[in-house]
């Protein structure tokens, strides 16, 4: 088994990757999963799933949950499927489509949603919140730019989300460069979360 542990935090190098396709780094994944506050049988939608790291971590952590990974690009969707196979994760369904347009076909409805990307961040957040997210559900979204932070924070405010949290993850990892060990910074990431009542 590629990841025999009960804890999250799969090493990044264990995932198959494609050039130019973003991947949530291990430390950021831990914060995202923590912010989701998963239940044993949660229904999770991951919009802009990229490499599939979040769905796979959740799938292993909560084997009774159902995860739908939404990705617009066929090649990237196939990458998620291959990564699910690598980790023997069977509770992830991969859907190819553009959010928010493809969301109306998805079942079951989610109690947890992770928004990791999308060209229409604010529209995706609003559509998910108003039309699909179950009462007492949570949305966790990531922002790597000032523009996406503004769109998401404005969206959460407009929707009157409760218990809004924003965490900036600034992670440094020890790396070997030549004969020295130095700390190298990962790209900073903002993680926003809110609850629907």
| Segment 99-151, tens digit of pLDDT | 999 999 999 999 999 999 777 899 999 999 999 999 999 999 999 999 999 99
Task: Identify which of 12, 100, 112 has the alpha carbon closest to the alpha carbon of residue 59.
Answer: 112
Look at residue 163 in the predicted model and tell me its pLDDT: 95
Look at residue 119 in the predicted model and tell me its pLDDT: 77
State pTM to two decimals.
0.94
Look at residue 160 in the predicted model and tell me its pLDDT: 95
CA distance 84 to 94: 10
Contacts of 92 (CB under 8 A, 6+ apart): 52, 55, 56, 59, 67, 68, 69, 80, 84
Look at residue 22 in the predicted model and tell me its pLDDT: 86
Q: Can you list the residues of the chain whose pLDDT is less than 50? A: none
In this structure, are residues 82 and 55 in contact, taking their beta carbons and an 8 Å threshold?
Answer: no
CA distance 20 to 101: 24
């Amino acid at each position: 088994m590629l990841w025999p542990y009960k804890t999250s935090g799969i090493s990044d190098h264990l995932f198959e990757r494609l050039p130019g396709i973003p991947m949530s780094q291990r430390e950021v994944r831990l914060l995202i999963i923590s912010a989701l506050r998963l239940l044993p049988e949660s229904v999770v939608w991951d919009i802009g799933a990229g490499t599939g790291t979040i769905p796979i971590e959740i799938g292993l952590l909560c084997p009774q949950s159902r995860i739908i990974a939404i990705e617009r690009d066929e090649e990237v969707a196939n990458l998620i499927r291959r990564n699910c196979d690598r980790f023997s994760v069977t509770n992830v369904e991969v859907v190819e489509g553009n959010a928010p347009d493809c969301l109306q076909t998805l079942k079951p409805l989610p109690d947890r949603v992770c928004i990791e990307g999308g060209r229409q961040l604010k529209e995706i957040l609003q559509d998910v919140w108003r039309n699909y997210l179950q009462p007492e559900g949570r949305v966790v979204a990531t922002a790597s730019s000032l523009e996406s932070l503004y769109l998401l924070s404005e969206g959460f405010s407009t929707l009157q989300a409760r218990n809004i949290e924003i965490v900036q993850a600034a992670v440094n990892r020890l790396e070997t460069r030549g004969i020295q060990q130095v700390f190298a910074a990962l790209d900073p990431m903002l993680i926003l979360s809110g609850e629907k009542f």
